[in-house]
Chain A
Amino acid sequence: MLDTVFIGLSLGSVLLLVALGLSIVYGSMGVINMAHGELVMIGAYTAVLSQIYLDINLFAAIPLAFVICAGLGLLIEKLVIRRLYNRLFDTLLATWGVAILLQQAIRLEFGLSFFGIHVDGLGPGLQSVTVPKVLSEPIMLGDFVLQPYRTFIILISIVLAAFTWFLMYRTRIGQQVRAIMRNKEMAAACGIDVKKINALTFAYGSGLAGVAGVMMSGFKTVMPDMGSAMVVDGFLVVVVGGVGSLVGSIVASGVLGQLTSFVAFFSNDIIARAVVFAVVICIIVWRPRGLFNYKGR
């Protein structure tokens, strides 16, 4: 029983890691980033490659992935998103195209495979990352087996959520992001550099995705198409939690994580997905704007 709850927490924390970035970007910019899952994937590959070539462990890969994915995010924002601010819905499509490109870039090893060059750690095959020794030995707490790696994921997601909350509610830049979320034109009229803040917001969201990817690489097989299903799960969390609500994302990922874990315990993973999907539909029917949302009227 406790095992199931623990797995639920761990699933929820992974969901939260993915959904945090999505929620902030969609909530403040109205941009639908379908490449978010691929950014997670890039984070995972950063862990893979840094283990092979830089010989650093998972912990060090975290900040590296954050920086790389944030940089990638800035690039995407500049080249693609910036041209679509007057037709936000098309960001869904354009970022999907970017997602395809990112996936193929990894699969085709950035084009090198055409020349017969194979880069270890890239390509269509499966990759994996070894978890640092300190996190791989299960700890016995009486009857309950504590999986340290999963606990680590839960801790990281709490830390990141707290850090995001701090950025949003206790710093000047967070205030500006929230102002833009409420009313973009007024924020600009108040002297906020909306373009710059949007670019930084997108970069931050992408960086978070990168960290999520590193965490995933420790327990999931890393492959080029691991991102597609994630972006769906991430958006389901955002839809249930309420757009723009940090608390909503946390609660929603917790609820959906526990639900998945419990249903999977009694039947299997696929039925769990079906049940979670049905529950999401029910929640949307009952509360179309999500569980928590800041829009009063």
Chain B
Amino acid sequence: MIESKLDLYIDGLGVNFSGFQAVSNFSMVVAHGEMRVLLGANGAGKTTLMDMICGKTQSTEGKVFLGEQEITNKPPHVIARLGIGRKFQIPSVFKELTVLQNLSVAAMKQVSVFANLGSMKRQIHMDRLAEVMELTNLNKKADHVAGTLSHGETQWLELAMLIIRNPKVILLDEPTAGMTADETLKTSRIMNDLKGRHTIIVVEHDMAFVREIADKITVMHQGKFLAEGRISEIEKNQAVKDAYLGSGGIA
């Protein structure tokens, strides 16, 4: 029933926070290698949806499948190891460690504490680390403590940590938030580079950025599924226009 070409299959997912239904009966299917953009006004439930997929928040209804494996409500570290990577709105990296150390931690092949009792010199492939740092413009900052990076650089570090793990599905929550136009351009280049090799779900507001990268768009409104399709279809969709009436439509 579930095609093997699907990477993420969400079925009727929802969550109720002591009376407030943040997301209800949301379903979405994302194919392998697709770049899907999640659109919606603030409070539409996009971040909550991402939280449920990666295990940060426990859902109260519905299921999530990664390929054929059900991952609903599993602990975050288990879901992460099954192949889902998450980048947060507020960049979260290890501020007291250096850029190189951050990436080394992200690049660890094994997760158990006993498997990692070995020395740092083994199992860390320096060329792969260098490659990723090159891609994300961090090659000159390898020994800098992550807490000293600029906002844009911190975003790229988090992206780098994601890329180096080679997850099947990448969840990006507003990756260009707070970036300059120049940094946004660099970021879209990084993301186009990732396209095809990973399945990516992006929450974004910046429509110019969305146009650059999106294959398909899913629109959420008040925690529910509203519409889905290519960007041209979405722009013509009456329901979407109604939902955004008064907020200027899709600019």
Q: Which residues of A contact B (CB under 8 A)?
A: 296-297
Contact = CB atoms under 8 A, between A and B. Distances in A.
Q: Which 3 pairs across A and B sit closest by C-beta, in order of nearness?
A: A297-B17, A296-B17, A296-B18
4 contacts: A296-B17, A296-B18, A297-B17, A297-B57
A296 B16 CA distance: 11
Contacts of A296: 17-18
Interface of B: 17-18, 57
Nearest to B15: A297
Nearest to B51: A297
Contacts of A297: 17, 57
Decide if the interface of chain A is mainly helix, strand, loop or mixed: loop
Contacts of B18: 296
Contacts of B57: 297
B52 to A, nearest CB: 12
A297 B17 CA distance: 7
Contacts of B17: 296-297
A297 B18 CA distance: 9
A297 B48 CA distance: 11
Nearest to A297: B17
A293 to B, nearest CB: 11
A203 to B, nearest CB: 34
A68 B143 CA distance: 53
A54 B112 CA distance: 66
Nearest to B57: A297
A230 B57 CA distance: 37
A63 B17 CA distance: 44
A296 B17 CA distance: 7
A208 B139 CA distance: 57
A260 B140 CA distance: 62
A237 to B, nearest CB: 24
